[in-house]
Amino acid sequence: RVNSTVPLIGRSGLLDDHKDNIFCGVACGRGLMANNTYCITSSGLLCLFNSSRHLGAWVNLKTSTASSLEVDEDRIFCGCADGLVRVFRPSDLEYITTLQRPHCLGVDVTQNPPHSHLPASSEPRHPDTLALTFDPRGQRLTCVYGDHSVYVWDVKDMGSVRKLYSALYHSGCVWSVEVYPELPQASSACLPPTSFLTCSSDNTIRLWQADPPALRQNLYSQDLLRILYVGERSEAAGADGKAGIRVLAISPDGQHLAAGDRCGNLRIFGLQFLDELVNIEAHDSDVLCLEFSPPSTGVKLLASASRDRLIHIFSLEKNYSLEQTLNDHSASITAVKFTGEGPEVRLVSCGADKSIYFRSAEQVEDGLMFSRRHHLVEKTALYDMDLDSSRTHVAIACQDRNIRVYDVETGKLTKTLKGSSSDEGALLKVQMDPSGSFFATSCSDKTITIFDYESGECVATLSGHSEIVTCMRFSPDCRHFISVSGDSCVFVWRLDSHMITTMRRRRGLRVPQAPQTQKQPNIRRETFIMLPQTEEEEEEETAEPRTPGGQDPTPVTPLLQTNGKMPMWFRKLNQSKASTFVQSEAGTCQVRSRWAEQQDTLTICSSFTPSPIRSPEEEEEEE
């Protein structure tokens, strides 16, 4: 038994003239070459060490840099700069071939054959090969490149290597995600259904599709529809040296896309062709939030807020000309929202200065002018904000991990909800679903939690991102949840069937009928509930199987874990049934699962089952 760290004692290889090189990869030989060791240097040398630790052979890869290698019984794959993968024979390092390169940097995925957005005078460049892995059973080589793209090659026949799969992803922090709205007239939509856009520090805006068609639409990715390159990295770098597109917003009519970068520039694109229409030098620092006014306001405005403490109001009808500038905040503005119905248009904003401003619009000769109506100061910083489905209340994510809900009309606090399941970290983002039934929060612990908006019950906890979640959205059809993070990943989550049913019914949408033969998996819940069952179902119910060869589990958690309020989806499910739950006091219950046995069953009384409590007359007859 080892209780401490044990160093691995090995023997040093004799490097001879290559002792000053930096070795970035090593692999042991396979098959007949199992006694050999292969190494690769960052300068582009492949070295073979024999069983005597001597440098038996070395070869120059003829590349500026090398990063990785993978060894098979018959081949050695070396990942090099500019997308090169060189192949050698393990016995004597004889050169075999070079695999074809991936796409060029700046590729236009909609063009066939491939086309780059770079000028024709510049030499095309390819992303460097960073990592390799080989599957000997399927004879497939997987390559990861410097722009975070992934390729899978079929190398069964080295004379005809072909690509089996490829995917292009963001290569930097993903800052924002926006879903394409559902329009009253589908014919006026510029993008296909279930489309959404993301922006990143790699100076790209990417168009994705949550439900891609079975037929591949381009040569590079199944779910990536378009890549929009916004300037060069040197152009978009801010004062702190950081570059990229910071925030996105889509107009309610689905025709325009607004993008704010880290230099304070505001760009307007047409979604029909993704061409740039307007470019405005709006702010002196990062544009942190953008918001279009909804159709219910009766006006067409765009609000932009920045780290420079300013809010700019632009008019869409005047080609995005500046209408007004608001300078009430004393620190970075984290969120801004339009609400109200024309002519009573309101604007709500919050920021890192712990202030919330409620403004109302007044009609003047030149247009609308917003003036302060209510001003609140909280005790903690305010990081994000979203409106409920009625747009009469605003939910604000606070640094103390609470969600505070305010009335937009009066500016008064209506309720406070718990916004995180942990006791550490700060609450960063909040997002309401389109129906107003649930809200999602992201915390600095890199997790996402979904709560019931009415009761505050935790419905689900999502984990998987390796960095903080920077933005998240519910899809308009209430079927998906999309999250982006600083780890350059975009996650599309499939929501639980109970949540989908609740949201779509509240929105008045058709609830999809799930096939009866396929059981929908339940999401992880904090509240465990058994539904009422009829007398026939109780007789047909079989005992839960035990874990083979294991001991009976001990009850550790009560079956019903609530704070006194059932989730809204559960109360709605039983509105037509006057059900009463009675739990035995003789023992405790445990969570029902596949390998768990409940020692004391939960007795359920409903209008469909007889009462388990016997009357005094029945007891006397039994005696």
Task: Please report where in the chains the tokens 């469909």 appear, as a residue.
Answer: 608
How much is the average pLDDT of 132-150?
95
- What is the per-residue pLDDT across 551-607, written as a single tens digit (0 to 9) for each? 444 444 444 444 445 666 556 665 544 444 444 444 444 444 444 444 444 444 444
Average pLDDT over all residues of the chain: 83
How much is the average pLDDT of 279-300?
95
pLDDT band with cut points at 50, 70 and 90 for residue 219 = confident
- Quick one: pLDDT at residue 173? 95
- Quick one: pLDDT at residue 5? 80
The answer to whether 43 and 20 are in contact (CB under 8 A) is no
Cα gap 451→441, rounded to integer Å: 8
The answer to whether 429 and 444 are in contact (CB under 8 A) is no
Cα gap 430→420, rounded to integer Å: 11
- Quick one: pLDDT at residue 544? 44
- What is the per-residue pLDDT across 343-385, written as a single tens digit (0 to 9) for each? 899 999 999 999 999 999 998 887 889 999 999 999 999 999 9
Residues of the chain with CATH 2.130.10.10: 16-117+124-167, 174-507
Q: What is the DSSP string of 354-365?
A: SEEEEEEEEE-S
Q: HSE-up of 280 (CA within 13 Å, CB side)?
A: 23
CATH code for the domain defined by 16-117+124-167 = 2.130.10.10
Q: Residue 537: what are its φ and ψ, rounded to 5°? A: -65, -35
- Quick one: pLDDT at residue 7? 77
- What is the per-residue pLDDT across 504-521, written as a single tens digit (0 to 9) for each? 999 887 666 655 444 444
pLDDT band with cut points at 50, 70 and 90 for residue 477 = very high
Write out 489-540 in H/E/C secondary structure. CEEEEECCHHHHHHHHHHHCCCCCCCCCCCCCCCCCCCCCCCCCCCHHHHHH
Q: Find all residues with CB under 8 Å of 226, minimum gap 6, and list them.
A: 109, 110, 206, 207, 274
Q: C-alpha distances in angstroms, 318 versus 260, 384, 487?
A: 19, 29, 39
Tell me which DSSP letter residue 569 carries.
H
Of the candidates 566, 581, 568, 583, the one whose C-alpha atom is nearest the C-alpha of residue 527 is 566
How many contiguous H segments (helices) and E segments (strands) does the chain have? 4, 43
Domain 174-507 matching CATH 1.10.10.10: the answer reads: no
- Quick one: pLDDT at residue 568? 63
- What is the per-residue pLDDT across 388-404, written as a single tens digit (0 to 9) for each? 999 999 999 999 999 99
pLDDT above 60 (res 229):
yes
pTM: 0.78
